[in-house]
Every structure is written in structure tokens, then in C-alpha cells.
Chains A and B, each alone.
Chain A
Amino acid sequence: MVACFIYYKHWRMHTGFMYNRWFILLTLLLSTFFFAHAQSPPTIRGVVIDKQNIPISDATVSVKGTRIAVSSNEDGSFLLNSVPANADSIVVIKIGYNRSAIAIAGQSQITIELNDLAIDVEETVVIGYGTQRKASLVGSIAQTTGEVLQRTGGVTNLGMALTGNLPGVTTSSSTGIPGGEDPQILIRAQTSWNNSAPLILVDGVERSMNSIDIASVESISVLKDASATAVFGVKGANGVILITTKQGKMGRANIQGRVNTTAKVPSKLPAKYDSYDALTLRNRTLENALSVNPGGWGNIRPEDILLKYRYPANDEEWDRYPNVDWEKELFRSHAMSYGANANVSGGTDFVTYFASVDYVKEGDLFKSFENNRGYRSGYGYDRVNVRSNLDFNLTKTTKFSTKLFGSNGVRKYPWDSPGNNDGQFWTAAYRTGADALRPIYSNGTWGFFSGRNHDVPNSVYNLALSGIERGTNTQLTTDFIVNQDLSMITPGLSFRANYSYDHSFREHRRGVEDPDGPERMWVNPETGVIVYMFGIDTNTQMDYSDMIRWINNAGEVDKDATYRRVNYSGQLNYNRQFGKHDVGAMGLFLRETIATGSMFPRYREDWVFRTTYGYDNRYLFEANGAYNGSEMFGEGYRFAFFPSLSAGWVISNENFLKDVNFINNLKIRGSWGRIGDDNVSGRWLYRDQWLFGGNAQMGTNIQNTPYTFYRISTLGNPNLSWENVEKKNIGLDFSILQGMFSGSVDFFRDIRTDIIIDGGQRAVPSYFGQAAPRANLGRVRGEGYEIELQFNKRLASGLRLWANANMTYAVNKVLFRDDPLLLPEYQQQAGWQLGQVRTHINNGHLATWDDVYGSTERISNNSLKLPGDYNIIDYNGDGIIDRFDVAPYAYAGNPRNTYNLSLGTDWKGLSFFVQFYGVNNVTREVTFPTFNTYSESNVAYVEGNFWTLENGGGDLPLPRWGTLSPEGGSGTRYLFDGSYLRLKNAEIAYTLTGKSVERLGLNSCRIFANGNNLFLWTKMPDDRESNFSGGSSGGAYPTVRRFNLGIDLSF
């Protein structure tokens, strides 16, 4: 933990206190928390109210021309100290209201009334390498604030919190593993088969967002079009997410604390039958298939045996005929997570500060099993984050900022299994039959499934004796920034230099390694014979005994995970107004060195510029560009210029609309540009890579020969270059009726050319003998639109109603890809969307034996056709069902449409909101086949009604047991409509202010209850949006629903 102390200091502003000032600066750098408080007459008191006379809190009240600023209290009051005698006016800023400036005119008590306003002209948006006033923005940028993300019901992963809150951003989650919930993020339409993840920058430097705590996020900007992303050049094509952390605001120290407690419940897992039902189904299946699998007779179990599974007479029968609900055996009813955060912000005219400590503890859904070995296995995540952002005004023109961030995240997991894909610990919940084995038999012996121990695991055992490991990620990021106002050279010019150094390392293998297990047993239900895993030790002729071989390990640094990044840049900014002409320019030079483990460092170099021109706040023009390169590519292909041009027309500022009262803002904007993408794995792709190492083995007792291999590991392509995206965007922003309704519409079209294709995917025959080099052989178009509508109404009673709805439609189409030319059109990638699902298509069932004999021949297992099987369509009509009958079906794995609707209200201290999030036009493969995954597991999923000859109805063929389906037999069975609608978040909160809390020394106190992923409506068998963890049949650590209770305190 971080030792910290609180330092109070009162002092007067005197130039003679320079030494004192440096002393303070030093102290600030060394310490984490700092409070300052300025106090000097003359003072001005006042209150900020709205038109209904309701006090407005948190308005920023500043003295114009000075750095004196405070926030208004809950009752709207403020107190300005040390107001210089020459100060002439006070400026009040509050989001959602008009900016207001009031002349002081000698008053010491002022009441300021703010008008509601649709557009806050001062509102700024974080853009690449800078900020811009929203009013003059011409790019397509979505922005949200940390406050919004904090409502997400106990979610601790920043990526997960983005869902639905930013139009154009699609997230897909796949696992609920503590500390590893990162979703896949996509901005607008995917236009590459390579890595399509956006570039993520935290405070301007490429950093992982998974360790960032939501409480210290000020804002998140998503840059979508060319105008916004061109400055990132070769890295910007997939869109950019900019995360800005909080900074101190001038004024009184504001201390905030938050604690919350979250209960997590496993969300949806595939439903399974119990032993009796599953084995009954198996009998039906075997009976149905007897004609093609007479051997199946041997596996039919009589009804009186089946009944024993449900009603065992004694322990012996219970052991022999298990009926295990694996979900119940493995998971708790709920897991608890906790979070706590404290931060302080404030500042004087010399320094502003924001410092925060954040603690997160993610609990484990798995039960804690007793293994009599002195340790408890399982999962968990504990994270402590510390942040201190300081801004020093060293001179009148020089500002020096430091941002220090440290994160210490400890993940707990079974020994040596840090991954998301280590299924043995949860596979049983998905795939182990209820009848396979008992996790622990009545005599206390662990169970195992003798026939298929590996495929049908006892996850209870696996987890209980898995050992335990703690993997600690320690991350330190530092930024040192100097801002120099250069108005002495020419007004409006400033210079910014940045040096960032990030370092993170990982310690792992701390904990208990437990390589050997105790004896395990299984009772063969057919013979009643008890099978022991080890039985008699052949050396000693004694029963197997479990030796004490578990080892305590002290941990070691994971050398391959040590990560360094150095980033430095220099930037010149110029912004000036000449009458009606707004002129801006920015130029930046940036270099980066990045290395992980023992690799040769990667290098980056960027040259960036931006010019803006605005005329009379009506016509806006912008030209951006980046000149940068990538080490991936050879000479002549290494550097390029990525330009963008954009323009905007603020119609509402035209004279003919000036007098139209109900229109507050109307703006049309458009942009064009070219961005690059080199986001493929590998390095130095332009040249062949030779390796030296490895030996052949020979000899009667094999050993290495003396000759070590030379080999070409990778073939290079000297003509390879990055992917190019031409992005076009046209958008409209509006606000009417004093901001009651506002919103925006954006249409976009991206054409990505020169898409890099992996050698293995190229139309290069296998006989080439090696992975062919990568080549720029692909073209994809992505297009769609985003609509965002906001409603905001404050009623006279003080009741505020608000709503925010957005939807995104994003679709792509492969225009060209190095497809094998002779493939039929419907099997080529070109002409279809990326990730288009393809399958054998079924049409009804083979309803009779006549149908079976009369149906089209299947190229494999034709003799295994049965009545009730799907009738598979001979798509190409060549008289045989084979691989060429696999045709496009439904959609792809990424949704085309995403919808979000948030509704909220607040009245006095009470607030309430719900957020619905849904997607459609998406197809997800979830392959949980009854019986068939692993032949000896009698796991049966609740799939629907099975078709049989007797009932003639039903919608699914009976499963298979011990026979394979004929070619294409499962048809579209495991392809699910991946649409869903979630009650993503809901919150009810009450804020206490006034005397009742002041007595406790508080400014305010907010109590809230919220939840995440509360309801789900879907046809999918489980609650996952994608299969990137555990695949489609492996299952994953279950995703969760969260119920969260918390309290915010403000001092």
C-alpha cells in the first residue's frame, strides 16, 4: 500500500516566498496528497441559481483574468477569496447552462442566475494531440465522461463500461474471469481481417486501458472519421479511443470517497438435462440409430437402472449412478466484489492537483473447495491504483505537469493457468454429463471419469487441487509535460513538450504448485466395479498413497512480460483570432521506443500537423495530416503521408436563422481522409528471417546430431506496405427548443485497400512449402450510420427528465481478397461481409425412410442417414452433398446494428436511470452438441424438441451417440441468432445534502444501488457475445450479472 499523508498549507501570495514555493513543489513531487487552500480578503460571497431559483452546485466560479476559481456548493453558494482589486468580473461556468459573466463593481455579495442552454459553447472535446471547442468541431467524435461510466453497476473493467455509452463503438464480451474481462472493441464497421482493435491512448500515450480505474477517468473520446484520426497516421485506421484522466481544478480541496459492494451472479450457461433425462434421451437416440449402428444395443440402459439415477436407494447406488448438477457443484450462488476510491482535487494559482487511490477486489464465482493441503484454490483479482496529476504554473507562461500512475494488480488463478482458455476448471459446467462421475464419492475419494478423464473432467477436483498462483502486474506510467506560452514571439503560439516513460512488469509463479493428486476413483455403472486411478503401486505392492509433493514457490519475474515504453514529443500550437477569422495550427514530432521482454525494441516516429480555419463561427475548415512510418515495411514503403480534409457549416449562425428561436444549433460537417494500419503480427515483414537452432535426433538411444539447423523462418515481402483506409463522413448536429432535443446523425463510408493477407490465406498452393509472405491483397468497404438523440427537460417542479438514444448501423463487404479463383462465388470471401457465416443449409427433415433413400447422396457417412435428420440442400445442384454445398447463411459474428437507450430522471436528491442495450443482425456459433462432443459423455443440452418418426414434429434431429452425422448433417443447428437485448444498467440514487450531512463534516452524501447486465433476452444458449475465450464449444469462465450498492461521500 502506498503510504500517504495529507499536507495542509496556508500561505499568502508573495513573490518573496519563492523558496517556499520550490519547497512546496518538491514536497508535492514526493508526496501523493496535497491540499492547498487560499485565503485572503477581499472576499466575494455569492450564490448560483437557475431560472426557477434552484441552487446550482458544482458550477465553476472564477475571477476573470486571474487563476482564482472555486466550485459552488450544494446550496449554490460560493466564496471567493483574495480577489485582486483590479478584477472586474466573475465568470460562472456550468455544463448545461449558459456561461455567465457578472461585473463585480465593488459588490461582495452576488447572486448569479444561469440560463439553461442547449449548447455549451465552452464545452471542449478531447481530440488527437489537443482539445477543441465542440462548436468548432468538424470531425466525428463521440465523447463521454467518467461520471457516466461510473453508473455501470460495479463493473471494474473500463472496456466493459463503454458498452452502449458511445455511439459507433461495439463491445463483445466473452468471459467473466476476475481481472480478465476485457471485451473486444470495434469502432464502426470492421474493414480488415487483421487486428481491428482501435488504438487506445491514455493521456496521449498508447497504453492498456484494462488497469485504469473508472473513477479517475475524466473523459473518453472516440475518434471515428478521417478528420479525427488522420493525425495518428499509420495507426489510426481502426479508430482511436482517447482516455483522459482527471486533473485538479483551481479551488478549495474537494475530497471524494466512494465505497461499493457488488454481488456477482453467473449469467446464463447452457441448460442441461439431469442424468435420468439425458440417459432416456440416449436410449431414444440409440434406438433410433439401431439400423445403422447395431452395436448401440450394448449401450441401452433399462428403465429400472435409469430410475436409480434419480432415486438412488443408498450411497452405493448414488456413487454408481450419479446425478450431478455441475453448475451447482462448481459455482456459488453469488460472489462478492468490493471497490473503494478516494480522491482529492483542488488547487491554487500555482498548482492544481488531482490524486486518487482506488481499490478493487473481484471475487470468484467458484466455490472454495477443501483439499486438506493448506491452500484454497480459485480465482480472484485485487487491484490498487494510485494516481497523482499535478499542474504547476512555474511562471506566468510556463506550465509544468506531471502525471504519475501506478497500478498493482494481483490475479489469483490455478497454478500456471493464467489464461482465459484453460477450460479444465470450468469445462464440467458445460460438458461433463450429470451421470459421468461424482466430484467426490461417498467415501470421500475424489472422482474421475475413467474412460475419458481428459475429455470429461472433474472440474471440482481439477480446481480444488490445481495449486494456486498469484500473478502480479505492476504498472507505472509517468508523463512529464511542459507547456510554454510563446505569445512573446507571436500571440497565440505555444509549445508543448512531453516525455513519458512507462514500465510494467509481471511477477508470476508465486504460490503453491501441486503436481500430484491423491487417489481418485470411479464406479463403473455397468459393472459396479470401482476403478482406481492409481490402484496398487507396482513397485511396493501397496495401495497408492498420496505423497506430500506440493511446493511453495516464492515467485519470479516473468521476463517475457517486462515492458518499457519511452515516448517523447514536441508540439507547437498556434491559435489566434483575427476579427472574424479563427486560425489554428499545430505541428508535432513524436518518437517512441517500445520493448517487451528481451525483444529488440520497436520504434515509432511521427510527424503530425493540423490547421484549422473558421470564419465567423459559420464556416469551418480543417486540414490534418501525419507523416509517419513503420518498421514492418521496407525502404520505399516505410514512410507516407496521411492527410485529411474537412469542413463544417454552422447554419444556425447564419443571419437567416439567427432569429429562429427554436433552433439553437444546426451544423453540417463532412470529412475525407486517408489513414493507415500496420496492425499485423510479426516484424520486419519486408525481409526473410533466418533462424539458427534445433537439431535432428539419431542414434540407438536418440541424441542430437552435431549439426544445428539453419532455416528461413519467415519469408519477407519487400513490396509490402500498410493498409490504407479512405474514410468519408458526413454528419449533422442539431439542438432545438433550448436544448430539449438535441442529437446528431453521421453517415460514413470507409474503403480499405491493400489489406494485408497472411501467407497461409493467400491463393498459394500448399506445395509452396512454407507460409507464403504476406501481401497487400484485399479491399473491404465499411459503411453505415450513427444516430444519437438526446432529450433533456427540467420541469418547473425541479424534476428533470432525460433520455439518450443511439443506434449504429455498420456493415462491411469484402470487395477483393486473394480468393482461389475456381471457388464458386458463394464460397469466395469477396462479395460477402467479413466473417460471413457459411454452413450446409437445411430445409426440413428427412421425414420417412423413403426420404432417406431418396435424398441426395452425402459424400461422407452417407450410410448413416436416419429419418429425422435434416434435409441438407444440395446448394450447387451437382447431385452430391459435399464441401461445395457450404453456402453463406445469416450474418457474421459482429452485429450490424447496436441500440442503446438510456432513460433517467432526477428530482431534488433522487435520481433514477435505466439503460437498455441491444444488438441484432448477428450470428454466433455455439457448438454444444448433445452426446457428440466427446462420445462417452452423456451430456444432453436442453436444445428443443427432437424430431421423431412417431411424433413427426419437433424442430431438431435427435442427437447422435456413437455414430457420426452424414456430411453437413448438423446444418444450421449450432448457429444462433446472436441478437440480444439487455437491461444493461439501472441505478437509483439519493443524494443527501444540507445540514444533515454537514454535521458529519460532509458536503454531500450519495447512496446508490445499481446493477449491470440485469436482464438478458436472447436465443443464445449462453450469455456470451463472442467466442474469443474458450471457443464456441469450450465454454468460458461464466459472464456475470452484478448487483451493486455504494455510497459516495464528498468532503
Chain B
Amino acid sequence: MKTNVIKSRLAIITILLIIVGTSSCEKYLDKSPLADIDEGVAFQSFRNFQGFTEELYNCVPLITSIGSHSAWNFGDDEMWEPTETRIFAYNIDHGDYWAWNTAIFGSWFKNGGNPTNTARVDKGNLWGLSWYAIRKANIGLGNLDKLTEATEEERRLIEGQLYFFRGWFHFMLMQYWGGLPYIDEILPPDQAPRVARLNYHETAEKVASDLQRAAELLPVDWNATTVGPTMGNNDRRPNKIMALSFLGKNLLLAGSPLMNQESTGDRNYNREYCIRAAAALGEALQIAETTRLYELIPFSHYSRIFYTWNQNYAVPGSVTVDGHRYTEAIMMENPAEINGRFRWNQVNDYRPMDINNSGIKVYPTANYVDFYGMENGLPIANPTQADSESGYDPQYPWRNRDPRFYHDIMFDGEQAVLNGGYVGNDEYKQYASLFTGGLYRTANPTKAVFTGYMLSKFISKNMNQWDGYADNNAFSLSLLRLSDVYLLYAEAASEGYDSPNGKSPNFSKTAVDAVNFVRDRPGLGVGHVHAKFLSSQAAFREEYRRERAVELAFEGHRFIDLRRWLLLHERPYTYKMGIEFNRAPGVPNSAVYADPKNARVINFRQTILFERKFSARHYWFPFLVSDISMYPEFSQNPGW
């Protein structure tokens, strides 16, 4: 009996021992080695390190098609449906800059934000993706010593890209938020970082230093490097010209009145920064002109800077004419889903409901259209008064205008629908009926063409829901293109040397030469800057600024320009205006349609549709409350 008890006890103990013995606690819960990537691998070889770096390209923001109804012109240039409260532009117009973080439609500052994928809805997040990219650039720079399997050239390529993007993403942010905490180290994850915010000039110096090093490390032409040809198309890769151009832009912005005032209290241009900017921009232009890596696209193919149609969704920005490839875009926004992204839903926003039955509508303001001067290069002094010097006549407001006007803007009488059958041969639908009381101006009042003009810079004039131009288009905005660099140079050289003829010693062109060079785009032929604007820098300033407004119209620069020139809250830049007029009696409609440029109108006048009420705080975006509530050295922008 007793042995039985012992036996069964032994059995139980054995069972328990077996159960216990199979366990070894810590190991049992360890992460399976199969579930892991060894972190050293990422930096080991050029191929892997470039893969690590390559995600930075994916962080470049997408601006124009982040979802539905993207908004990127927040200056006096466009006006969205005045009762459409969901568009970020509405928030801006009403002074609610917080909406960069909360707007339902159109803010490319805080939408989505996955750095890895190529979904457009995840690319409209300048705020988040920039900081992500900066961290990644810092991690890359901190681990460069682990790159063992690479040539010296390959190492320079990686280092150059990392410096470029670290500087560039800071630069993108500071255009909107001003001085930043400049992050140039790997912030350790186990402590909450407390980096002090720098003022604008201090931040710009850090950006300049990074871009300068990038310019030293990066090649002029990637295709000329050993690995370049294997990397696929290199159009998006930062090269020496790109780095220098952004370096110059960064310095010019630092020297602009707003930024100079922020850092020094002086509301004028900072000439020293402008001179440095002119030197960087001059060097970039000099290399570009020598290598012909970037050239102005002939005006005959002007649209190709912005969009392609029926080209199998080719990325715009360059074009091959007569066997020669012209590339004007230096850096473009993110190409995510370019295969159709503009179709949904942006194209619908530019035409009234009569011919495009969907969308939230946006039209160019009349006051901005007025910047498009005469073909002879003279500005329109007052759009309601005839001017014998320029030849402008309010009875023929669209006669002899700058050719870019006819490209970018649609006005009364132009053909909007190719096939009249689609609109029941209703002439007022087929041809833009933009006169006062016209169908386009009255049907569906909130969505009608309230300004009297329609945009055709980024889409065909025949964009409507039937003719097919809505589809098969690929639109991509240039963040920097060659004509912009010339105009930045013109500004920097003239402001730096306080003369329209100012020039950087390293470049052959003077400021006014640079403006005229843009007007001399092959096939464009707008008259040169008139002598009366060369008498003083103040006079020339008006003209180079007008040139910027026209050449870079609706490309997202105006808001930054008005801010850095301290004009945003000054009249007339606070106005959004429309035109009112009647077609001249006795002129048959058919004559208008045949030659809308020369159609006579009467009662041509302008009305104020909206005035923005801005104050000093509207020069900068507010930082997130959570960010500026952590420690005193990261302070909010004034007024927020």
C-alpha cells in the first residue's frame, strides 16, 4: 500500500517536472529571429543605404492632388466658392491659419502622412513628412561610417542627398512657420528633446550650410556618374544646380523684408543676404547655361511645363522638341498617382456647372489677371482706363495682351466645348458666357464664374465633362523651375546691389537681363522691361514682381511672395475682385466667338468680391499648441 502511494507520488512529480522542464521562461517569450531585420544591413552597402535614403523622395510633398479639391494658392490670385467653408483657402481667407492642421479639403500641410507608400492621400503632409525625412537624414548621416561596400563617389552621392534633404525640408517648413528648432542630430528616443527654436536668419544659415555641403558633394549630372545610369530616371534627384538654386532661394528669403524684420527688426531687404543669394543663384544659372541641363521650354510647348495630355501620363516639366530635350522643372512635387490623380477631383473645379457638373469651383481673380500686361511688356496701370502708352483699352480689355494671358486665362467668348452637340448647341454653354448676366455667371449662383475669368494654365480650355480633356492628363507642379531661378536671381541681384543692373560677379546677366531673358522665352516675345522701370530700384521692383506674378501665376508662390514682401495685409493685395461688363451692342455673338480677343465690350468695371482682413499674425502659420506648450524655448509665432 505504501509503495503504491510512493509510486503514484513519483508519477505525479515526474509529470510536473516534465511540464516545468519544457519551459524556460525568458526564451519562451523572445521575439522570433525570423521576424526581424538586422539594423546594420541598411547601411552596409551602397545599394542598401541608397534604399534607406530613397524614402526621402517619398516625403516630398504632393500639393495639387492630395485628395479632393486641393488648394495651394492662398494669395490674391484665386477665389474659391465663397460659401464653401470646407476648403483650406476659405480658412486662410478668413484668417484661420489653424486650419493647416484641420481643414477638410486642400491643406497639403497635414493630410495623410505615410512616408513609405505612394498613395497621394498620404503625401499632403508637409509638416509630418518633413520632420520624418529630417530624422531619417540625420540617422543616415550618423551611420555613414557603416557604409563599407561603396566607392567614394557612391558615398558622396548618399551624403549629398542626405544633406540636401535635411536642408531642403527645413527650408520648406520655414517658408510657412518661420524660424525652427534646427534638427541636425539623431534625437535619442529615450528622452524628450528640448531643442531651442532659432530665429529666421539663424535657421536659414543652418539650411544654407547643409545645402552648400550638398552642392559640394552632388554631381551636376547624375547620368554622368558611374551608378547614375543604373538608378533609373534621375530627373528627381538633387544635383549641384538644384542644391545651389535652393541655397539661393533660401538666402533670398532670409534677405526678404518679412524675414529680415523678424530677425533684425529692419523692414527692408537685407542686402548682404541678397548678395549671397545672387551668388548662389548666379552660379546655378551659370552651370545650367553651360551644361544646358535645364532650359526654358519654348512657348509653343508652354503647357508641357505643367501638364501632359494623352501622353500616357508622362510627367510634365520637360519636353522634347525637334529631337532636343528641354527640361525646365528643377524640382517637382511628389509624383504619387500621377496616373489620373488630377482627374479626381481637381479638374472639375475650374469650370462652371453648365459644362462640368461636379466639383467645388475656383476661379482666378480679376485683380490678379490684371498683372498680365501687354504684349509690348508694359503693365496695365488701371484696367478701367484706356492707356495710350501701353495701348490698353477697356473696350477691348483682351487685345494685345501678354501671350501668357491667352495661355493661362479663359475669358468671355472663348470656346469651352468643342462639340456643340453635347450641350444641345446652346451657344452660351459652348462658348464662355462670362459677360454680366451671362449663363456662366448666373446659373447655380454659388458656383457660377463669379470673377469673370476661368483658369486654363493647368488644363485645356476645352476641359468639360464631354470632350475628353478631363481624362488622361498628368499635372505636376514645379517646386522650382528655371524661370523661377532667373526671377529669383533678378530680385536678389537688384536688391543686393540696389540697382536694376545689379549682377553677381560669377554670372554674366544683370537683374534686368534675367527678367528679359524670361520674357524672351523662345516663342514668347514679350517686350523687355520698359526704360521707365529702370530709373530706380523701387520702380524696377514693381516690374520684377509683376513678372514673377505672371510667369509663376497660380503655382503656389504668390502667398509666400506677398508675405515675404510684407504686402499680405496691405491693400490692394487683400482684395479679391471680379469683372462686370456687357458685350457691345451690335456685335453679333458669332463675331465674338470668332475672335474673342478683339471683341468689344462696354461698361467694363471691377467689383470687390471679398476683402481679406489680415493682421500681423497672418504672416506666419501657428505651430501646433502641443508643440509650443512643452518648454519655453520653443515659442509660438506672434499673435497665435
Measured CB to CB, the residues of A under 8 A from B are 293, 295-296, 298-299, 450-451, 453, 486, 488-489, 495, 524, 526-527, 531, 535-536, 538, 570, 572, 589, 591, 600, 603, 605, 629-631, 635, 638-639, 683-684, 687-712, 715-717, 719, 762-770, 772-773, 818, 820-823, 859-864, 882-884, 932, 935, 960-964, 967
Contact B96 A769 (CB under 8 A): no
Residues of chain B lying within 8 A (CB to CB) of residue A295: 82-83, 445-446, 450
Do A770 and B315 contact each other (CB < 8 Å), given the known contacts A488-B4, A711-B116, A861-B94? no
Contact A700 B422 (CB under 8 A): no
Bound together, the chains give a CA A589 to CA B25 distance in angstroms of: 12
By beta carbon, the residue of chain A nearest B32 is: A600
Contact A706 B231 (CB under 8 A): yes
9 sampled A-B residue pairs with Cβ under 8 A:
A538-B466, A696-B58, A700-B318, A768-B131, A768-B187, A772-B189, A859-B98, A861-B96, A935-B84
Q: Tell me whether B588 is interfacial, beta carbon within 8 Å.
A: no
Contact B52 A705 (CB under 8 A): no
What distance in Å separates the Cβ of A637 from its nearest Cβ neighbour in chain B?
11
Bound together, the chains give a CA A696 to CA B51 distance in angstroms of: 9
Most chain B C-beta atoms within 10 Å of own C-beta, residue among A486, A707, A712: A707
Q: Tell me whether B443 is interfacial, beta carbon within 8 Å.
A: yes
By beta carbon, the residue of chain A nearest B139 is: A712
Residues of chain B lying within 8 A (CB to CB) of residue A495: 12
Most chain A C-beta atoms within 10 Å of own C-beta, residue among B15, B25, B192: B192
Bound together, the chains give a CA A572 to CA B15 distance in angstroms of: 12
Contact B192 A764 (CB under 8 A): yes
Contact A823 B629 (CB under 8 A): yes
> Considering the complex, which residues of chain B in the window 295-319 have a beta carbon less than 8 Å from any beta carbon of chain A?
312-315, 318
Q: Tell me whether B324 is interfacial, beta carbon within 8 Å.
A: no
What distance in Å separates the Cβ of A595 from its nearest Cβ neighbour in chain B?
11
Q: Tell me whether B16 is interfacial, beta carbon within 8 Å.
A: yes
Bound together, the chains give a CA A202 to CA B190 distance in angstroms of: 40
Contact B116 A694 (CB under 8 A): yes
Bound together, the chains give a CA A603 to CA B25 distance in angstroms of: 11
Contact B357 A692 (CB under 8 A): no
The one of A691, A692, A702 in contact with B315, judged by C-beta atoms closer than 8 angstroms, is A702
The one of B29, B35, B91, B96 in contact with A629, judged by C-beta atoms closer than 8 angstroms, is B29
Q: Which of B489-497, B550-558, B560-568, B630-638 contacts A (4 or more CB under 8 A)?
A: B630-638
Total A-B pairs in contact (CB under 8 Å)?
A: 273
Q: Tell me whether B323 is interfacial, beta carbon within 8 Å.
A: no
What distance in Å separates the Cβ of A297 from its nearest Cβ neighbour in chain B?
8
By beta carbon, the residue of chain A nearest B23 is: A605
> Considering the complex, which residues of chain B in the window 591-640 have a beta carbon less than 8 Å from any beta carbon of chain A?
613, 624-632, 634, 640
Contact B466 A536 (CB under 8 A): yes
Bound together, the chains give a CA A707 to CA B45 distance in angstroms of: 11
Most chain A C-beta atoms within 10 Å of own C-beta, residue among B34, B39, B312, B467: B39
Residues of chain B lying within 8 A (CB to CB) of residue A818: 192
By beta carbon, the residue of chain A nearest B334 is: A697
Q: 3 tightest A-B contacts by CB?
A: A962-B83, A769-B135, A298-B445
Contact A538 B8 (CB under 8 A): no
Residues of chain A lying within 8 A (CB to CB) of residue B286: none
Contact B315 A765 (CB under 8 A): no
Contact B132 A770 (CB under 8 A): yes
Contact B98 A860 (CB under 8 A): yes
Q: Tell me whether B506 is interfacial, beta carbon within 8 Å.
A: no
What distance in Å separates the Cβ of A484 from its nearest Cβ neighbour in chain B?
8
Contact A707 B183 (CB under 8 A): no
Contact B52 A711 (CB under 8 A): yes
What distance in Å separates the Cβ of A740 from its nearest Cβ neighbour in chain B?
49
Residues of chain A lying within 8 A (CB to CB) of residue B628: 822
What distance in Å separates the Cβ of B422 from its nearest Cβ neighbour in chain A?
7
Residues of chain A lying within 8 A (CB to CB) of residue B135: 768-770
Q: Tell me whether B465 is interfacial, beta carbon within 8 Å.
A: yes
Do A860 and B91 contact each other (CB < 8 Å), given the known contacts A296-B83, A694-B116, A697-B335? yes
Contact B466 A701 (CB under 8 A): no
Contact B443 A600 (CB under 8 A): no
Contact B82 A531 (CB under 8 A): no
Q: Tell me whether B136 is interfacial, beta carbon within 8 Å.
A: yes
Q: Is the interface of B mostly helix, strand, loop or mixed?
A: loop
Residues of chain B lying within 8 A (CB to CB) of residue A572: 16
Residues of chain A lying within 8 A (CB to CB) of residue B466: 535-536, 538
Contact B467 A488 (CB under 8 A): no
The one of A488, A603, A683, A932 in contact with B5, judged by C-beta atoms closer than 8 angstroms, is A488
Q: Tell me whether B19 is interfacial, beta carbon within 8 Å.
A: yes
By beta carbon, the residue of chain A nearest B336 is: A697
Bound together, the chains give a CA A932 to CA B86 distance in angstroms of: 10
Residues of chain B lying within 8 A (CB to CB) of residue A570: 15-16, 19
Contact A767 B52 (CB under 8 A): no
The one of B94, B231, B314 in contact with A707, judged by C-beta atoms closer than 8 angstroms, is B231
Q: Tell me whether B37 is interfacial, beta carbon within 8 Å.
A: yes
The one of B37, B97, B190 in contact with A691, judged by C-beta atoms closer than 8 angstroms, is B37
The one of A489, A526, A862, A961 in contact with B12, judged by C-beta atoms closer than 8 angstroms, is A489
> Considering the complex, which residues of chain B in the window 173-210 have a beta carbon less than 8 Å from any beta carbon of chain A?
180-181, 183, 187, 189-190, 192-193, 195
Bound together, the chains give a CA A675 to CA B336 distance in angstroms of: 49
| B-side interface residues, number (CB < 8 Å) | 112
Contact B189 A702 (CB under 8 A): no
By beta carbon, the residue of chain A nearest B335 is: A702
Bound together, the chains give a CA A208 to CA B116 distance in angstroms of: 34
Contact B312 A859 (CB under 8 A): no
Bound together, the chains give a CA A935 to CA B634 distance in angstroms of: 38
Q: Tell me whether B95 is interfacial, beta carbon within 8 Å.
A: yes
Contact B55 A709 (CB under 8 A): yes
Contact B630 A820 (CB under 8 A): yes
What distance in Å separates the Cβ of B411 from its nearest Cβ neighbour in chain A?
22
The one of A704, A710, A769, A964 in contact with B90, judged by C-beta atoms closer than 8 angstroms, is A964
Bound together, the chains give a CA A764 to CA B128 distance in angstroms of: 13
Q: Which of B70-78, B232-240, B375-383, B390-398 contacts A (4 or more CB under 8 A)?
A: B232-240
Bound together, the chains give a CA A822 to CA B232 distance in angstroms of: 49
The one of B29, B84, B180, B624 in contact with A605, judged by C-beta atoms closer than 8 angstroms, is B29
Q: Tell me whether B267 is interfacial, beta carbon within 8 Å.
A: no
Chain B 91-121 interface mask (CB, 8 Å, partner A; 1/0):
1001111110000000000000001111000
Chain B 42-84 interface mask (CB, 8 Å, partner A; 1/0):
1000011011111101100000000000000000000000111
Residues of chain A lying within 8 A (CB to CB) of residue B446: 295, 298-299, 962
A690-B39, A702-B315, A707-B51 given. 5 additional CB < 8 A pairs?
Answer: A489-B9, A767-B627, A773-B190, A820-B629, A961-B83
Contact A862 B231 (CB under 8 A): no
Contact A450 B357 (CB under 8 A): yes
Do A696 and B54 contact each other (CB < 8 Å), given the known contacts A765-B627, A863-B94, A935-B85? yes
Residues of chain A lying within 8 A (CB to CB) of residue B313: 701-702
What distance in Å separates the Cβ of B8 from its nearest Cβ neighbour in chain A?
6
Contact A769 B134 (CB under 8 A): yes
Contact A690 B37 (CB under 8 A): yes
Residues of chain A lying within 8 A (CB to CB) of residue B253: none
Contact B31 A687 (CB under 8 A): yes
Do A766 and B96 contact each other (CB < 8 Å), given the known contacts A526-B444, A696-B58, A935-B85? no
Residues of chain B lying within 8 A (CB to CB) of residue A531: 357
By beta carbon, the residue of chain A nearest B34 is: A600
Contact A710 B41 (CB under 8 A): yes
Residues of chain B lying within 8 A (CB to CB) of residue A764: 192-193
Contact B98 A692 (CB under 8 A): no
Bound together, the chains give a CA A655 to CA B25 distance in angstroms of: 50
The one of B41, B132, B235 in contact with A698, judged by C-beta atoms closer than 8 angstroms, is B235
By beta carbon, the residue of chain A nearest B116 is: A694
Bound together, the chains give a CA A689 to CA B16 distance in angstroms of: 38
Contact B630 A699 (CB under 8 A): no
The one of A639, A703, A864, A935 in contact with B26, judged by C-beta atoms closer than 8 angstroms, is A639
Bound together, the chains give a CA A486 to CA B13 distance in angstroms of: 12
Residues of chain B lying within 8 A (CB to CB) of residue A600: 31-32, 34-35
Contact A963 B55 (CB under 8 A): no
What distance in Å separates the Cβ of A494 from its nearest Cβ neighbour in chain B?
11
Do A696 and B183 contact each other (CB < 8 Å), given the known contacts A488-B4, A766-B131? no
